[in-house]
């Protein structure tokens, strides 16, 4: 199923969009995939200039891998000329956020270090098993099912690991729209979903022309809201700026777009070494990642309050791991490297390394002591 390393010709497989949709409708539910769509390649990306200025202005916040070859990210066929389409999949990890959850302006009772439990101070996406493993396996399972009907199917699968603007493709494939907070938002499911892609040697007839967004994906557990315009809008945030106002570090620009160097998710996950000096209070009670710009989003409070009828449960594996309960926040602040490795390998927390987790826990404890973190836990049980 993996793409050949040598440039030997990969024969294309012709298929029409309706047949592909029927195959996906059979395979996706069995593999816990909630949305799936396809984009014809090569494909001009309508927000290419946003990507270029993001890198040129240094808003990638020191994530050097993002800036390595900016143009390659705009056209996957430069590396994989055999790819005729990009399939994109979404998998829910939460059905929205309750109103008032994670809103630092909402106030709340002073919390002791372990009230709420520390997992509530971790972004929802990161409380269970590692999504890279689960989602990648589910996409591969789906492709294996497709390959039984389409012998000769070739695919290159990536979940964060490839140079793809996943949210742009998700929008183009009809999975949702691009929020002011940069997240891919589905009108009924919100933004609590992961994305993953597969380059495939399919020539799909009947998709919108390259660069034109589809109004619905090929497969969905829930339909999007009906569009008034014939073309799916890039954004449906309108005049709402709740995410901009709620972000404690002003990482979201009022016109939309993120300065990753200012994002608490970056500070607490990808940043190595010391946390930004003098900015302790802004981290509040957040231990790992940040959900604030999603938790205040009305599309997410709506998804929480009124989930679509018949929605399957969120995939097993994303609920908080029971073993996490054995530790306290104070334990995390002093967790030895070997204990970190034993407990957090194959979880998203692995990404911040043991010194990152100790640094984050120490800062949260200090903030709680000073009262700065009273209202900034990810979630108030
Ligand atoms: C690097 C990275 C980060 C960095 C930088 C994020 C950023 N916004 O640039 C950091 C560490 C900060 C981060 C944080 C988070 N991330 Co992240 N991250 C990525 C990664 C690997 C690359 C993103 C990238 O290319 N950024 C470059 C910018 C230019 O692209 P973009 O943010 O996707 O923005 C696009 C659109 O939103 C739009 N756009 C951007 N700005 C503007 C402005 C205007 C005016 C308009 C009209 C459009 C627009 O254009 C861009 C191109 O289409 C992707 C996986 C992938 N390969 O795509 C995951 C990914 C985007 N992250 C994801 C998640 C879950 C998160 C967090 C929620 C985790 C958390 N809870 O802490 C936060 C959310 C923060 C946020 N608001 O984005 C998911 C998002 C799923 C979704 N529903 O959108 C992805 C897709 C991973 C995955 N496989 O599921 N992330």
176-187: pLDDT as tens digits: 999 999 999 999
- Interstrand relation of 177-178 and 184-185 (parallel, antiparallel or unpaired): antiparallel
Q: Which of 103, 130, 133, 160 is catalytic?
A: 160
Residue 119: how many other CB atoms lie within 10 Å? 21
Model-level pTM?
0.94
CA 184–ligand 1 middle distance (angstroms): 8
Report, in this order, helix, strand and coil percent for the chain, each rounded to 5. Answer: 35, 10, 50
Q: Indicate if the pLDDT at residue 245 is higher than 90.
A: yes
Q: What is the CATH number of domain 13-96+129-220?
A: 3.40.109
Check if 259 is active-site. no
The reply to whether ligand 1 has any atom less than 6 angstroms from the CB of 138 is no
The reply to whether ligand 1 has any atom less than 6 angstroms from the CB of 48 is no
pLDDT band at 225 (very low <50, low <70, confident <90, very high): confident
The reply to whether ligand 1 has any atom less than 6 angstroms from the CB of 3 is no
Q: How high is the mean pLDDT of the chain?
A: 91
Residue nearest to atom 10 of ligand 1 (CA): 266
Q: Indicate if the pLDDT at residue 202 is higher than 90.
A: yes
Strand partners, 199: 86, 156
CA 46–ligand 1 middle distance (angstroms): 16
What b/e string do you get for 122-159 counting C-beta neighbours within 10 Å, with b at 16 or more? Answer: bbbbbbbbbbbebbbebbbbbbebbeeebeebbbbbbb
CATH 3.40.109 domain position(s) in the chain: 13-96+129-220
Q: Indicate if the pLDDT at residue 380 is higher than 70.
A: no
The reply to whether ligand 1 has any atom less than 6 angstroms from the CB of 130 is no
Mean pLDDT of 169-181: 97
């Amino acid at each position: 199923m993996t793409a050949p390393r040598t440039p030997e010709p990969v024969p294309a497989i012709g298929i029409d969009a309706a047949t592909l949709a029927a195959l996906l409708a059979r395979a996706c539910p069995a593999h816990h995939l909630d949305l799936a769509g396809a984009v014809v390649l090569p494909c001009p990306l309508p927000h290419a200039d946003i990507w270029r200025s993001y890198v040129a202005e240094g808003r990638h916040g020191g994530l050097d891998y993002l800036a390595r070859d900016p143009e390659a990210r705009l056209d996957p066929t430069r590396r994989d000329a055999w790819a005729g389409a990009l399939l994109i999949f979404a998998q829910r990890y939460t059905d929205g956020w309750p109103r008032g959850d994670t809103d630092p302006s909402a106030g709340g009772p002073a919390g002791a270090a372990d009230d709420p439990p520390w997992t509530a101070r971790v972004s929802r996406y990161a409380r269970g098993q590692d999504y890279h493993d689960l989602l990648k396996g589910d996409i591969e399972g789906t492709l294996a099912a497709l390959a039984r009907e389409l012998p000769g199917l070739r695919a290159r699968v990536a979940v964060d690991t490839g140079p793809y603007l996943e949210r742009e493709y998700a929008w183009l494939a009809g999975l949702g729209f691009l929020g002011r907070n940069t997240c891919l938002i589905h009108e009924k499911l919100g933004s609590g979903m992961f994305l993953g892609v597969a380059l495939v040697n399919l020539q799909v007839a009947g998709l919108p022309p390259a660069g034109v967004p589809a109004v619905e994906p090929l497969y969905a557990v829930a339909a999007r809201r009906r569009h008034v315009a014939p073309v799916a809008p890039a954004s449906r945030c309108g005049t709402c700026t709740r995410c901009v106002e709620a972000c404690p570090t002003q990482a979201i620009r009022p016109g939309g777009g993120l300065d990753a160097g200012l994002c608490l998710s970056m500070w607490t996950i990808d940043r190595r070494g010391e946390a930004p000096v003098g900015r302790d209070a802004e981290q509040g009670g957040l231990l790992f990642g940040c959900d604030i710009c999603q938790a205040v989003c009305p599309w997410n409070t709506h998804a929480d309050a009124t989930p679509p009828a018949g929605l399957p449960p969120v995939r097993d594996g994303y609920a908080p791991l029971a073993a996490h309960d054995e530790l306290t926040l104070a334990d995390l602040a002093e967790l030895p490297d070997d204990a970190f490795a034993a407990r957090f390998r194959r979880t998203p927390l692995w990404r911040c390394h043991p010194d990152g987790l100790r640094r984050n826990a120490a800062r949260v404890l200090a903030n709680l002591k000073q009262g700065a973190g009273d209202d900034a836990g990810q979630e108030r049980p």
